[in-house]
Amino acid sequence: MEQEKILARLLQILTRYSQERATGPFVDYLDPEELRQRLDLDSGVRGDWDQLFAWVEKYLTHAVRTSHPAYLNRMWAGANLPSVIGEMVTAVTNTSACTYETAPVSTLMEKYLLRTMLELVGFHNGTGQMTTGSSNANMIAMMAARNNADPAVKQQGLFGRPPLFALVNADAHYSMDRASNILGLGAEHLLKVPVDDHGRMRVDALEQRLAEITAAGGVPFFVAATAGTTVRGSYDLLQPIIALRDQYKFWLHVDGAWGGAVVFSDRLRARFLPHLEQADSFTLDFHKMLGTSLMCNVLLFNQRPDILRQVCSAGDESYIFREGDNGEIRDLGTQSLQCGRRVDSLKWFLDWKFYGREGLAERVEHYLELCAYAEAQVQQAAELEMVVPRESFNVCFRFRPPAPIPAAAFNQELRERMHRTGRSLVGTGFVNGELVLRLLITNINVDKSEIDTFFRAVIETGRELLAERSGLDHPRTR
Ligand SMILES: *Cc1c(COP(=O)(O)O)cnc(C)c1O
């Protein structure tokens, strides 16, 4: 009885939170020290539900409202309601998706997801798994490529083996650097291939590196193409890389954490990701553009149905895993690097059933239209400029302060001011050494009018900063 009352109370709080979260500022900003005092983390007594709910209220009051239309900061925002329902059910039922016997429904849903996505991407006789995100997926893909290139590595490690080299777009995600560290390659064996004007790997430079490595007795075992680089949104061209693969026999991984979401739309896939079906592996985050609650990812492998088992399985698993009938893998944990695995399949499944492929395709197409609209707004505003033309979804722009004010410091200050005053939170990044404000639209509550509001706020904040600099008496609005 107590439990029911408590859950009802929680639902009431969450309902009120979701009614209020799109109104007012996106965050009640406090400096860290002030927030620490306000939270008073040392206070409280044990076993008191009223106090527990007071903590919940404090958390909600000071949390960043990521569904708020002024939250334009990251590759994700808010979360789809169907997936939130899935997440809550997952929390209440609390199980690990490593064995069929503890997670029968989740196992079948994950297998259904893998079948659905392999077919959609066009991978034949493949396999895959839900991982904790594309950072991990990139690492697992690199590991699979490593062990595929030199099967002795699983037993002997890299000691005394021919040197391996991985090659990535110079703007590839930092998870590639971390993966090469974890996997024992070292930073010097991860080569960053320079990019062209569009932020795509230069194929001539890639070819040159491949030739140099091979001539020196090295093994270029892995090339990762990025489908939507994190800062610029550039898509590496797959076809010329596939042609090089025929010659050099490397593993071609496609990091579609961000821009892989175009696979749901035939039109956008043909434009941004042709030939994806010929890659060796592909990762896609459902928790970014597609709006499933964090974390939700799928990593897919082409043509190699047993690769995950071969690569990941190690050690004595006899206490936990059972052989399925006719060798079928029933326990997904046998092909994972984790033991305990969160159930991520239910929230994906509910999103998939609720929106369908068409709904997700429409969403991604709509985001792209909004990005084109945003770029046009930047071009029309005298105070703003695009730092580089838009490649896909990422709008890399900045406020143009009059000379001699340095643009980077000014835009950094502008961004901080917008954050602290709760007007908006927008991302940043560096393109060709220039600081850019990086507008990302992944929020279903954002439409043209919210984009207009955002740019108005950028321009007002910029003018305000300029007025303060020139010593004019300009009222600071909060
Ligand atoms: C976000 C991102 C990643 C990391 O994905 P996580 O799911 O956050 O680990 C990897 N690659 C690219 C291109 C990304 O944009």
CATH number for the domain that contains residue 170: 3.40.640.10
Query: CA-CA distances (angstroms) from residue 299 to 7, 125, 129, 135?
Result: 35, 14, 5, 11
Asked if residue 362 is part of any domain, the answer here is: no
Instruction: Judge if the beta carbon of residue 133 lies within 6 A of ligand 1.
Output: yes
Question: Are both 105 and 13 inside the same structural domain?
Answer: no
Instruction: Judge if the beta carbon of residue 134 lies within 6 A of ligand 1.
Output: yes
Asked which of 333, 351, 369 is the last residue of a domain, the reply is 351
Q: Of the candidates 87, 105, 85, which has an alpha carbon nearest to the alpha carbon of residue 97? A: 105
Asked if residue 73 is part of any domain, the answer here is: no
Rounded to the nearest whole angstrom, what is the distance from the C-alpha of residue 83 to the centroid of ligand 1? 20
Rounded to the nearest whole angstrom, what is the distance from the C-alpha of residue 282 to the centroid of ligand 1? 12
Question: Are both 233 and 177 inside the same structural domain?
Answer: yes
346 within 8 A of 109, measured Cβ to Cβ:
yes
**Type of residue at 214:** T
Rounded to the nearest whole angstrom, what is the distance from the C-alpha of residue 411 to the centroid of ligand 1? 25
Rounded to the nearest whole angstrom, what is the distance from the C-alpha of residue 258 to the centroid of ligand 1? 7
Nearest ligand 1 atom to the CA of 137 is 9
Question: Are both 56 and 145 inside the same structural domain?
Answer: no
In this prediction, residues 161-177 reach a mean pLDDT of 97
Asked if residue 407 is part of any domain, the answer here is: no
What is the extent of the structural domain holding 330? 88-351
Question: Are both 142 and 188 inside the same structural domain?
Answer: yes
Report whether pLDDT(474) > 50. no
In this prediction, residues 161-179 reach a mean pLDDT of 97
Instruction: Judge if the beta carbon of residue 83 lies within 6 A of ligand 1.
Output: no
**pLDDT per position as a tens digit, 54-109:** 999 999 999 999 999 888 888 998 899 999 999 999 999 999 999 999 999 999 99
Rounded to the nearest whole angstrom, what is the distance from the C-alpha of residue 253 to the centroid of ligand 1? 14
Report whether pLDDT(327) > 80. no
Residue of the nearest CA to atom 2 in ligand 1? 257
Instruction: Judge if the beta carbon of residue 297 lies within 6 A of ligand 1.
Output: yes
Asked if residue 47 is part of any domain, the answer here is: yes
When the pLDDT of each residue in the chain is averaged and rounded to a whole number, the result is 94
Q: The sheet that has 281-285: what strands, in order across it?
A: 127-129, 297-301, 281-285, 251-256, 219-226, 164-169, 190-193
Give the residue, out of 76, 135, 229, 438, with the most ligand 1 atoms within 8 A of its beta carbon, to mutate for a pocket test.
135
Report whether pLDDT(205) > 80. yes
**pLDDT per position as a tens digit, 432-452:** 999 999 999 999 989 999 999
Asked if residue 258 is part of any domain, the answer here is: yes
Asked if residue 196 is part of any domain, the answer here is: yes
Asked if residue 445 is part of any domain, the answer here is: no
Domain count, the chain: 2
Instruction: Judge if the beta carbon of residue 345 lies within 6 A of ligand 1.
Output: no
Question: Are both 242 and 317 inside the same structural domain?
Answer: yes
pTM of the model: 0.95
Instruction: Judge if the beta carbon of residue 230 lies within 6 A of ligand 1.
Output: yes
Confidence band, pLDDT 50/70/90 cuts, at residue 45 = confident
In the block, which residue shows the tokens 């850019």? 436
pLDDT attached to residue 319: 84
Q: Report the b/e string of 108-147 with b at 16+ CB within 10 A.
A: ebbbebbeebbeebbbeebbbbbbbbbbbbbbbbbbbbbb
Distance, CA of 71 to CA of 64 (rounded, Å) = 9
Question: Are both 215 and 319 inside the same structural domain?
Answer: yes
Distance, CA of 367 to CA of 344 (rounded, Å) = 25
pLDDT attached to residue 1: 56
Asked if residue 380 is part of any domain, the answer here is: no
For 241, residues 6+ apart whose C-beta sits below 8 A from its C-beta are 201, 203, 206, 223, 225, 252
Question: Are both 60 and 184 inside the same structural domain?
Answer: no
121 within 8 A of 274, measured Cβ to Cβ:
no
Question: Are both 59 and 99 inside the same structural domain?
Answer: no
Question: Are both 297 and 228 inside the same structural domain?
Answer: yes
pLDDT attached to residue 478: 44
Question: Are both 125 and 58 inside the same structural domain?
Answer: no
Asked which of 297, 330, 351 is the last residue of a domain, the reply is 351
Question: Are both 62 and 96 inside the same structural domain?
Answer: no
Question: Are both 126 and 33 inside the same structural domain?
Answer: no
In the block, which residue shows the tokens 């890399």? 396
